[in-house]
């Protein structure tokens, strides 16, 4: 099991989750499940993985906490008048997690936004990772600014005592358009004390160390 997080919103966590899930299920014959504990701005991420992996579960199991507005969860709860306690949030997520982790050989859990995004009552996305006791994979981008965002994300996770399996670069910008991207990747590995486990150029063109994700 892994928790897919990212350096920011829009970095491609769902896209990378679908690439990983599809490869494990359809090329390695592993029964893969998916959980999106909290989704804001609709239900599209959950629908994408439900369809990609042909999952039979109801959306309320795959995504136990859903908010309509594309906002940080804590703000969405407030503006939508969604009155729910943190304990109930955690209980709903844990019920789904227990159900899916018992059923599937491998479970991909995907976060919302970055690791320091508040869910509710000072409970951050990183606290959810810790609560579920999962190792994290950080999805990052290749272009300018990614070194800072990636290193800060890694530091935050480790300060919470969360194991980081590695970084996957999702090419939201074509590598050919990124000057000296190899140097950027080397810098992330050196200063982040982390391994880049793969690069995703497209749904068909990717190079990921799947064996490391299965360890």
Q: Give 169-196 as a DSSP string.
A: EE-SS-GGGSTTHHHHHHHHHHHHT--E
CA–CA gap between residue 143 and residue 89 (Å, rounded): 35
Token readout for 55 is 């999952």
8 Å CB contact between 199 and 169: yes
C-beta of residue 167 within 8 angstroms of C-beta of residue 196: yes
**CA proximity to 64, closest of 88, 41, 82, 81:** 88
- For the question of residue 50 being annotated catalytic, the response is no
Strand-strand pairing, 206-208 and 196-200: antiparallel
Which residue of the set 13, 25, 36, 120 is catalytic?
A: 36
Nearest to 64 by CA among 33, 34, 89: 89
Residues with a known catalytic role: 36
């Amino acid at each position: 099991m892994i928790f897919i997080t990212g350096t920011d919103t829009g970095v491609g966590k769902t896209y990378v989750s679908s690439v990983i899930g599809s490869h494990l299920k359809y090329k390695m014959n592993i029964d893969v499940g998916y959980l999106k504990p909290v989704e804001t701005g609709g239900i599209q991420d959950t629908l994408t993985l439900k369809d990609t992996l042909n999952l039979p579960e109801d959306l309320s199991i795959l995504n136990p906490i859903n908010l309509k507005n594309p906002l940080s969860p804590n703000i969405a709860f407030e503006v939508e008048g969604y009155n729910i306690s943190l304990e109930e949030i955690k209980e709903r997520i844990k019920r789904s997690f227990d159900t899916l982790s018992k059923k599937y050989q491998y479970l991909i859990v995907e976060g919302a936004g970055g690791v320091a995004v508040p869910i509710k009552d000072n409970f951050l996305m990183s606290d959810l990772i810790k609560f579920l006791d999962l190792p994290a994979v950080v999805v990052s981008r290749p272009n300018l600014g990614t070194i800072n965002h990636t290193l800060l994300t890694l530091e935050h996770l480790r300060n919470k005592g969360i194991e980081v399996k590695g970084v996957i670069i999702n090419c939201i910008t074509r590598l050919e358009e990124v000057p000296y991207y190899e140097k950027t990747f080397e810098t992330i590995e050196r200063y982040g004390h982390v391994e880049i486990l793969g690069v995703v150029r497209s749904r068909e063109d990717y190079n990921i160390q799947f064996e490391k994700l299965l360890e």
